[in-house]
Structure 1
Amino acid sequence: MDFFDLIHHHRSIRKYRPDPVPDDILWQALAAGPRASSSGNMQSYSIIVTRDRALREQLYEPHMAQDMVLDAPVLLTFCADFRRMRHWLRLSDAPDNFDNLMSFLIGAIDATLASQNVALAAEALGLGICYMGSTLANCDQIGRLLALPPGVVPVVGFSLGWPAEDPAPRDRLPLDGLVHFETYHDYSDADIAAIYAERERKGWQRYMGFPELRALIEEAGVTNLAQVYTTVKYTRESHLAFSATVRDYLRQQDFENSG
């Protein structure tokens, strides 16, 4: 597949064939990760490959009971990781400047860049992936199950396997609603209406097409897609709770030293 066709054909795969991913295919996809850009070329991330069924069963609940955790033969978890770098600094009698929020953000960006390289390589090899926001939201539980030591925090992750479905690519916001030239151009009411017009129509149709989601929407009494996002899917209470989880886990993992 042509590179640009690959980019524009991306879709999240939630149903997988049970066939394993051969080692050579897996390593070929993983090898794309280190070629991503990296702050200072520190490569402050690690990749956890989880194939073991019993461990995936333990990860099922922290990943919000998403079936692909069990159905896909592989889970990949990309972690911000300054533990390796800080160990090297100790051995080299160099000062440790990486026990703080800025360092976590650098590691998180590095991990995310690497993850997208691996995702694109996997799709080029015919595999399917689905990113899981639960990786960061429940980083403490996932970190415990993956035996992550201080200095390591799970940031992004996705299921990986051979697709058992071929969904159409999802709609995206129009490019002219995302790109700003020279400086930021703030949005008028009319701009917002135009940018979200297709999303409101297609997104509402999609959610109402799932019986379970439709029941939740009708029970909540919401009437538009924006309300679905903030009343049904991403409530203030859940975001505040996840924020507290991440903040506490960063402190536990030695990324909250303010001096």
Structure 2
Amino acid sequence: MNSTIATILNHRSIRKFKDTKLTEEQIHTIINAAQQASTSSYMMAYTIIGVTDEKKKEALAQVSGQPYVKNNGHLLVFCADLHRQTHSAENLEDMQENLENSEHFLVSAIDAALAAQNAALAAESMGLGICYLGSLRNNLAKVDKLLALPQHVIPLFGMAIGEPDHQPEIKPRLPLKAVYFENKYEDHEDAIRSFDEQIKAYYQSRASNQRIDTWTEQMHRRFSNTIRMDVTDLVQKKGYNKR
């Protein structure tokens, strides 16, 4: 196993960081790595915002409800960005229908996610820890305003980075039989049942936050309660996914 694969397989979310800020060199290395991610049609349809203003970090932590949004070595917010693609447009109406379709919403979100995963791997290869922050979507309009984002730019998620101050166990992933099929979609209920037993044992044996739970029960709770129903409105107001 090479060091790259070892870094990938060693991933775990870090939610407690030492009080050490990333250096400018570390930040630039992580961003440069993010920029080398694959991008659809060379659009690079994302922007990464580093948040260093402590008042803004506090406000984002309140949106998230998580203290590690404020207490970390560096905070990044990844945005879908089709704004820069319009810079040279003499008549935006010529581009608008295409800009605002579902295809380019997907493209910009995928571009941002690919860049973010490169950033995560770069950070972890440097001995740092990361945690993705989908919780910033708890109040997308507030995040949008805090970061002064123009039309055709929307915040998607954040990433807290820093020196780990704990080392949680690696959380099990779904078995291969549940996520990889050849040539057609396959039934995988048996694999899910087996995974439920594995994840139940994991939750009962881990060092902190022990509980009795399964993956299936988590998914049922997740999709039985509506969340973030305001996201669609903000996304469409910003000129995305309207067609």
Normalising to structure 1: TM-score of the pair? Answer: 0.84
User: Hey, what does 1:143 align to over in structure 2?
Assistant: 144
- Kindly indicate whether the alpha-carbon contact (under 8 Å) linking 1:60 and 1:66 is maintained by their aligned counterparts in 2: yes
User: Hey, what does 2:30 align to over in structure 1?
Assistant: 29
User: Hey, what does 1:81 align to over in structure 2?
Assistant: 81
State the distance in 1 between where 2:224 and 2:232 align.
Answer: 16
The residue type paired with residue 15 of structure 1 is K
State the distance in 2 between where 1:46 and 1:79 align.
Answer: 5
The residue type paired with residue 19 of structure 1 is T
User: Hey, what does 1:197 align to over in structure 2?
Assistant: 197
- Kindly indicate whether the alpha-carbon contact (under 8 Å) linking 1:86 and 1:98 is maintained by their aligned counterparts in 2: no
Q: Which consecutive residues of structure 2, in runs of 5 or more, have no partner in the other structure?
A: none
- Kindly indicate whether the alpha-carbon contact (under 8 Å) linking 1:131 and 1:156 is maintained by their aligned counterparts in 2: yes
Q: Could you tell me how far 1:197 is from its partner in structure 2?
A: 2.4
User: Hey, what does 1:219 align to over in structure 2?
Assistant: none
What does 1:113-132 correspond to in 2, within 5 Å? Answer: 113-132=114-133
State the distance in 1 between where 2:41 and 2:87 align.
Answer: 17
Distance 1:224 1:122, change over 3 A: closer
Distance 1:210 1:191, change over 3 A: closer
Kindly tell me the number of residue pairs found equivalent between the two proteins: 240
Q: Residue 182 of structure 1: SS of its match in structure 2?
A: coil
- Kindly indicate whether the alpha-carbon contact (under 8 Å) linking 2:63 and 2:139 is maintained by their aligned counterparts in 1: yes
User: Hey, what does 1:249 align to over in structure 2?
Assistant: 234
User: Hey, what does 1:108 align to over in structure 2?
Assistant: 109
Matched, 1:210 2:209: yes
The residue type paired with residue 156 of structure 2 is V
Aligned sequence identity (%): 32
Q: Deviation string for 1:195-235 (max 9, x for gaps)?
A: 3321232135559x528xx6xxxxxxxx743335544xx36
- Kindly indicate whether the alpha-carbon contact (under 8 Å) linking 1:36 and 1:117 is maintained by their aligned counterparts in 2: yes
Q: Deviation string for 1:137-167 (max 9, x for gaps)?
A: 4322211211111101111221011111122
State the distance in 2 between where 1:104 and 1:137 align.
Answer: 20
Q: Which consecutive residues of structure 1, in runs of 5 or more, have no partner in the other structure?
A: 215-222
User: Hey, what does 1:156 align to over in structure 2?
Assistant: 157
Q: CA RMSD in A?
A: 2.4
State the distance in 1 between where 2:136 and 2:117 align.
Answer: 15
Select the residue among 217, 225, 229 that pairs with 1:227: 217
Q: Deviation string for 1:168-188 (max 9, x for gaps)?
A: 222112222211111111224
